[in-house]
Structure 1
């Protein structure tokens, strides 16, 4: 299915939005895109480089986003924090699919309520997961090796120099201010933990152990409900990545540990790292691009009106293929880790 109207990318000149636009262009050469940013000249340069794209500035304080009345879009992507939810309202008023990545678990209530009140208006993809759902989809791809899953532990290392641009850093500061507690699923119960219970050791792909803690992230309920696992935890550490320790750029690394049983009922556990030499930016962009594909029906049927999460729309096997295509890799843990 090809679109005659453009995908409006709010924050399209930022790292996540710009890279997502580049991926969409690579996958769908004729898909119209509208790059929205505060700096119109920069947006125009990006649009010209992409081709089949236009540039605009928007005002997120306005319900009409400051766009002309005759502007037409096929979807709205908030690749930045839509703090007044005017991007969502704009999409709902026009029956357009909407995708957001910056609300976080502790901030999604206004977004979910607004979406639920107008559930028939348009599909809303809440993708405020780690790297816009890329980690969840990778974990679900690995989970297909098990017949029953009892425990999922995700351990992520974010390089201190790889927190993104100003919008990404603002997101991290906002989330840390909202709560220092972590959300886990323990024996089937979603539980808030803090203090020593939230502390964790996160082992990097090269065996280095970093101090970390459990965090409140949408990946936990997404993985719990998608797999039925009664025990789910997401631990997070900010520090020096394995890439920088060996003198290379900051790298991305997420460890996926699964415990459960094989089809015969015998205990089975797996561990692997999802890594990328260029840090978190390519994976966040991929998460956005995968979501846009499904919202618009560029791959499979277009999403129906209502609230969606990445794992509800995107096939994990396909997501893994795309991860490998952009330079990510799955590697086994070191023996001593």
Structure 2
């Protein structure tokens, strides 16, 4: 099977959506499927206002249709609701071609953090966008229940995975020398340094030891100036990032809007207990861990969660992360596509 994924999130962006799509495409080859991508890289782009590292495609419906024809996929999955996703959706609808979508980002909350746009209006638009397809893929049970309550239909589960070979506990000789040398305990946060990630909630905490932030984004300069004692390391990937995870003591995840948070799995696989708010994402990832073998601490008081996570076993964190794999994640994605195709065929046959 040849699958086309239409996405506005793509390299050089570094985020969970991009990593999920890349890992899914890699694993799909071993499961009898080939994935091609329709991305902003196929067209001229312009920087997104207030967020220049995100490039928006300057494409037309005809241009997207032509590119889709060139790829000649058997099925289309629309990963994002940006210009690429909107145009791919229009092409599919105009041709009577079935497609699925995925809900990666809490767009209404993201937009409300930047502009006075009522969330009810944003959700109404998203319902129209997603319900036109044959299925909406979401990463967690909590998000599934929430979207179902907001009128979204045909919701399917598509979890996430982690490379547990790269992200693993490491002896001192394999840890990041700078981070490992900081006063302990070391509290780490990894992600885009932007308002919707709520990094300030972590940096404002009164914690012992050291605070480390990995990532870049529009809020970095302001937060660095406000929190000179924190250590901002910028964007890190691959082996460098894995070494940093293994060097810290607790992973603090302050986001209130993430739908999953792949960084949670990367931290856990590195033997790093998690401290987070009890919201979608953290509740579904570490909240499912056995009570007698917790992988972290969820609390409305983030400081209490961070301090409590110091007592969580690093072995528990690692063992829990091993439940997740990119192979299982990809099989789930492919099964969802088959289910959507079957559903569309039944509806078409019924008239």
Category of TM-score, reference length = shorter chain: 0.3 to 0.5
The TM-score normalised by the length of structure 2 is 0.39
Structure that is richer in strand per residue = 1
Higher relative contact order (CA 8 A, sep 6+): 1
Structure that is richer in helix per residue = 2
Larger Rg: 2
The TM-score normalised by the length of structure 1 is 0.40
